Amino acid sequence: MESFSLNCAKSYIGKNVNLHLKDGSVIINVHLKGIKKTNFGKSNLVQYIPYKNRRQTSIPLRSVAWAELLNVSLINIAD
């Protein structure tokens, strides 16, 4: 399996995904907003908004193992 890189993260911007972290936890159903470079070096942050929330949050790119694309139309039917 290939690692979650900057190019891979860019392909998911604007989509709803589940973020699987390297420690085994999962951040479910988030909308990826963008990638932000930190002021203190080469690390990047993945910016996301949780479902039905307006507050933007970020997580270091290197702590994400992979992302699973979600089908938004199935989620909207359940509401």
Question: What domains can be seen in the chain, in order of their start residue?
Answer: 6-78 (2.30.30.720)
CA distance 42 to 7: 15
CB-CB neighbours of 12 under 10 Å = 19
The per-residue pLDDT string of the chain (79 residues; one tens digit each, 9 = 90 and over) reads 567 889 999 999 999 999 999 999 999 999 999 999 888 877 899 999 998 888 999 999 999 999 999 876 766 555 5
Give me the sheet containing 44-50, strands edge to edge.
57-60, 44-50, 26-37, 16-21, 64-69
pTM score over 0.85? no
